[in-house]
Amino acid sequence: MNKTTVYVVDDDRAMCESLKWLIESVNMPVKTFSTAHDFLEHYDTNSHGCLVLDMRMPTMSGFELQEELSNSSIKLPIIFITGYGDIPMAVRAMKNGAIDFITKPFNDQELLDSINKAIKKDAERFACDGELNHLQGIINKLTPRELEVAKLIISGNSNKLIAKILQISPKTVEVHRAKVMTKTGMSSLADLVTLFIKVGYKQN
């Protein structure tokens, strides 16, 4: 697990330095980038924290980076800062999932508070994702056939029915079922259903 980092992307070097100094003053690791491309190249998809992002930048604007990130399923919380913003811009940024939009000049504490909130939110997301990946990993251990049987089980079918559906002997279904339970480590049908629902399987 990587440590949490505050990423700063701003084309203004002085602003980058100022932000770096501010954020490091509260003992948070900071990485600064002067362009969106620079950030995208050096960003480690496994790291977490938050992104402090200038709106107006050459070659790639803050908006474009935000979209790029959301398309790449990178869910790093974004805090926009800008000196030239207007309301439609702020609204659009928020609609696109930014967690804050701060205008320059800003109050230092205001930004730090926002960063803390963002990091907290990202940590929650990370914990949640980790749990999900873990559960998904458990399910991925099943063979295709076992998964097939498992899905039929959690849809409420009995072994006998599953046997008819899959055109195999009920005895084989029993074997698969037992394998599913031992491999997933679930000790009851209820737990198995819960597991599958958690990872997003729906039996509509």
Partner DNA sequence: AATACTATAGGTAGTTATCCCGATATGAGG
Partner DNA sequence: CCTCATATCGGGATAACTACCTATAGTATT
Distance CA 112, CA 50 (A): 12
Residues 91-110 that bind its own copies (CB under 8 A): 91, 94-95, 99-103
Dig out the tokens for 164 from the structure. 């008819």
Distance CA 4, CA 10 (A): 19
Binding mask 143-162 for its own copies (x = CB under 8 A): ----------xxxxx-----
CA-nearest of 102, 130, 96, 114 to 50 is: 114
* Spatial contact of 29 and 5, defined as CB atoms under 8 Å apart: yes
Task: State the alpha helices, DSSP H only, in 51-188.
Answer: 62-71, 87-95, 108-140, 144-154, 159-166, 170-184
CB of 1 to its own copies, least distance (A): 23
Instruction: Verify binding: residue 169, DNA, rule CB under 7 A.
Output: yes
Tell me whether residue 116 or residue 143 sits nearer to DNA (CB atom): 143
Chosen residue from 37, 168, 199, 201 binding DNA by CB under 7 A: 168
| Binding stretches for DNA (CB under 7 A) | 143-146, 158-160, 166, 168-169, 171-172, 174-178, 181, 189
| Binding stretches for its own copies (CB under 8 A) | 85-88, 90-91, 94-95, 99-103, 153-157, 187-191, 193-194, 197, 203
